Amino acid sequence: MMQDRNGTGIGNRIGKSLAAGSGEWKRAIMRGLGCRCPACGEGRAFSSYLKIRPACDACGQELHHHRADDFPPYLTIFVVGKIVGTGIYICEMHYAPPLWFHVATWPLLTVALSLALLPPMKGAVVGLQYALGMHGFGEAGPAGREGDNERGNTA
Ligand SMILES: [Zn+2]
C-alpha cells in the first residue's frame, strides 16, 4: 500500500473519504473545475494562467501542497482527443467537407479547447488531491479532518 509522508496509507484515506458519503470529494473537484479553492469555493485557486496560489485568499487554505504534475495535461489531451476525434469522424461521415475545411477547423479547435480546458483540469486535480488528503493536504482535506467533522467543526 502506498504511504504518504505522515505514514498513513493512501488507500485508507481514499476509503475514508469515499465511505464518508458526504460528497466532499465531489464538491472539492467541482470547485477545482471552477478554478476555485477546493476548501471554500470562494477564493480563486490560480494566481495566473496555470500557477496555483500558495494559499486561498478567502479561507487561508494552503494550496502549495499540490503535486498536479502531468495529470492535468493528460486529462486535457484525453478529453480534447475525444471531442475533436469524434467531431472529425461525424463531420466526415455525414457532410464530407472539402479538405480545406478540415485544415482550417480542427487544429484551431484543438488548440482553443486545450488552452481552455487546462486550468479547470488542473484545478480539479488539486481538488482531488485536497479531498483525498494527498501531498500535505492531509491535515486540511476532508479525509484528514474526519476527527474535526465528528466534533462538528466544518471549517
Ligand atoms: Zn478557500
Q: How confident is the model at residue 140 (pLDDT cuts 50, 70, 90)?
A: low
Mean pLDDT (the chain, rounded): 82
Q: Is the pLDDT of residue 24 over 80?
A: yes
Distance from the alpha carbon of residue 61 to the mean position of ligand 1, in angstroms: 5
Q: What pLDDT, on a 0 to 100 scale, did the predictor assign at position 45? A: 95
Distance from the alpha carbon of residue 116 to the mean position of ligand 1, in angstroms: 23
Q: What pLDDT, on a 0 to 100 scale, did the predictor assign at position 134? A: 84
- What percent of the chain is predicted at pLDDT more than 90? 61
Domain boundaries of the chain, sorted by first residue: 10-150
Distance from the alpha carbon of residue 106 to the mean position of ligand 1, in angstroms: 37
The residues pairing with 62 across neighbouring beta strands, listed in sequence order, are 55
128 Cβ neighbours under 8 A, 6+ residues apart = 25, 28, 29, 32, 134
Distance from the alpha carbon of residue 101 to the mean position of ligand 1, in angstroms: 45
Q: What pLDDT, on a 0 to 100 scale, did the predictor assign at position 3? A: 47
For residues 130 and 128, what is the distance between their CA atoms, to the nearest angstrom?
A: 5
Q: How confident is the model at residue 9 (pLDDT cuts 50, 70, 90)?
A: low
Distance from the alpha carbon of residue 76 to the mean position of ligand 1, in angstroms: 25
Distance from the alpha carbon of residue 45 to the mean position of ligand 1, in angstroms: 8
Distance from the alpha carbon of residue 86 to the mean position of ligand 1, in angstroms: 37
Write the pLDDT tens digit of every residue in 94-136. Answer: 999 999 999 999 999 999 999 999 999 999 999 999 988 887 7
Distance from the alpha carbon of residue 102 to the mean position of ligand 1, in angstroms: 43
Distance from the alpha carbon of residue 62 to the mean position of ligand 1, in angstroms: 8
